[in-house]
């Protein structure tokens, strides 16, 4: 229990929390990197997924692309880009955007394409334009599934941003890499407890947002 005691002592020490390398600033860095990555990935993946889902063709391409992206090892891309582009924010952000695209793309596609065609046809019969069908019928109905993709992407990005510290950047992974360097296991444990807690809290927040944004009519039990 020595390790846990040391970890606890580190958490209890106010000096661990404040300052340039403290927990709060690492947390802000972690959230900043993750937000940037998710924003870029969402701008690319969500419109494409929604559009392909609306057209109800080309689904195989989306599934294929997502599968291929999933097979790419993020750490490999990160190190490759780091050698290629140089150290800095561009390389890891690029690698992580590729990671986040797969769940966002499949979520958006699956959500929109799973909307009952009868509902879409009914909307079309009522004279809605394609744009209105998309924004007023398909997207509202697809919200839970699209949000599932967003939650999955967020979890993966939050988890993987920890390895950005490996190429001399900040974030909560900093404590892991620094702890590893000086064989301080308790600091590594602390780092991972923080990362896991952040993932749990963010997922809970997103689950709440999902509930608020989903139409009550969708959660009706059959």
- List contacts with another protein (CB under 8 A): 3-4, 67, 70-80, 82-84, 155, 158-160, 162-163, 166-167, 173, 176-177, 180, 188-189, 191-193, 195-196, 199-200, 203, 221-222
Tell me the CA distances in angstroms from 65 to 47, 60, 155, 176, one per residue in order.
15, 9, 20, 33
Tell me the CA distances in angstroms from 32 to 56, 132, 170, 203, 220, one per residue in order.
35, 34, 10, 16, 37
Q: How far is the CB of 86 from another protein (least distance, A)?
A: 12
* 143 or 193: CB nearest another protein: 193
Tokens linked to 182: 């000086």
Q: How far is the CB of 19 from another protein (least distance, A)?
A: 24
* 120 or 188: CB nearest another protein: 188
Q: How far is the CB of 121 from another protein (least distance, A)?
A: 24
Q: How far is the CB of 40 from another protein (least distance, A)?
A: 20
* 81 or 133: CB nearest another protein: 81
* 82 or 142: CB nearest another protein: 82
C-alpha span between 119 and 88 (Å, rounded): 48
Q: Are 23 and 13 in contact (CB under 8 A)?
A: no
Helix axes of 173-181 and 185-213: crossing angle, nearest 10 degrees: 170
């Amino acid at each position: 229990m020595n390790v846990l005691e040391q970890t606890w002592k580190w958490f209890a020490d106010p000096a661990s929390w404040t300052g340039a390398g403290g927990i709060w600033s690492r947390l802000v860095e972690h959230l900043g990197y993750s937000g940037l990555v998710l924003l870029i990935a969402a701008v690319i993946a969500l419109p494409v997924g929604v559009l392909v889902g609306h057209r109800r063709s080309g689904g195989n391409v989306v599934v294929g692309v997502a599968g291929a992206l999933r097979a790419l090892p993020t750490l490999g891309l990160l190190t490759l880009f780091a050698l290629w582009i140089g150290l800095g924010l561009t390389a890891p952000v690029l690698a992580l955007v590729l990671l986040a695209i797969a769940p966002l793309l499949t979520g958006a596609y699956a959500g929109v394409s799973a909307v009952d065609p009868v509902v879409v046809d009914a909307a079309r019969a009522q004279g809605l334009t394609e744009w209105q069908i998309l924004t007023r019928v398909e997207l509202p109905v697809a919200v839970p599934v699209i949000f599932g993709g967003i939650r999955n992407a967020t979890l993966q990005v939050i988890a993987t941003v920890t390895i950005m510290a490996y190429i001399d950047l900040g974030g909560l992974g900093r404590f892991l890499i620094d702890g590893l360097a000086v064989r301080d296991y308790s600091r590594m444990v602390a780092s991972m407890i923080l990362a896991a807690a952040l993932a749990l809290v963010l997922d809970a927040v997103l689950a709440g947002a999902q509930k608020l944004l989903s139409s009550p009519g969708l959660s009706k039990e059959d």
